[in-house]
Amino acid sequence: MTQFSIVTINWNNLEGLKQTYQSVAAQTYRNFRWIVVDGASTDGGAEWLATIDEPYAEITSERDKGLYDAMNKGLIKGSATEGYTLFLNSGDFFYDENVLQKVADAIEKAPGKPRYVYGDYYLQNAEGRLTPQKAKKIEHLVLGMPSSHQAMYFENERLRNVRFREDFKLSADYCMIVEFLQGQDHQRDVLKIESPLCIFDTTGVSTSRRFDALKEDMRIRREVMKLSPLHSISLYVLHYLHTHSKLLKAALGK
């Protein structure tokens, strides 16, 4: 029976944390651990977490050095057991109560043990409108994230060998995925599920951080994927223009 480690990072996001807890608690598949890494929240989050009395909850609240330091703490704890780790941070939530069951069924029906499992997702804007997003083919990893990280499951034996690189302030998750999949057989080790697995709330995602992330993505392609400078810069320009186009359309209401 497949076991899951659900890692939730939180800092001063009590309402989002409660939403994540409700989503986790509602799952019909029960073979999971909920690992919460709270950065010593001062908004009542640490006190609220102290009231959680669930056998599946493993909660710590202490100061950290930032998001990816906390993510690495969760990664280490999550990958310590057999199974798969999912990073579902405060404010993130499953698409519905059957997601873990669906993922477990897909893993157990796979011809071999997949190392990386991912699927589709929905984007949710400030008005609550949902927009479906299809996961990309893993062969297109060079172009960017294949899906939302809340829709990705990492096999723990492999996960123990990687970390979130803290020198990337915005794109460490992309870098981790690239390094996780290096040397893996995409046909044998990757399982793509044709179904929505999570809802990602885009509220508060700043424009400036999007463009800063594109620069980090270019650096990852150059330093980690070993693409040529010309190839890396060309992809950066294409993504830059694409992002500008999306923002312009949004401003015009199209």
Are 234 and 143 within 8 A, CB to CB? no
For the whole model, what pTM was predicted? 0.94
Checking if the pLDDT of 251 tops 80, the result is: no
Dihedral of the alpha carbons of 208, 211, 212, 215, in degrees to the nearest 10? -170
Q: Are residues 248 and 183 in the same domain?
A: no
Strands 84-87 and 4-10: parallel
Are 198 and 179 within 8 A, CB to CB? no
Task: Provide mean pLDDT across the span 103-129.
Answer: 93
Identify the domain containing residue 216 by its residue range. Answer: 205-253
Checking if the pLDDT of 250 tops 60, the result is: no
Q: Are residues 117 and 210 in the same domain?
A: no
Q: Are residues 123 and 211 in the same domain?
A: no
Task: Provide mean pLDDT across the span 158-174.
Answer: 96
- For residue 39, what is the domain's CATH number? 3.90.550.10
pLDDT > 70: percent of the chain: 94
Q: Are residues 97 and 182 in the same domain?
A: yes
**Residue 103 in tokens:** 């993922």
DSSP letter, residue 110: S
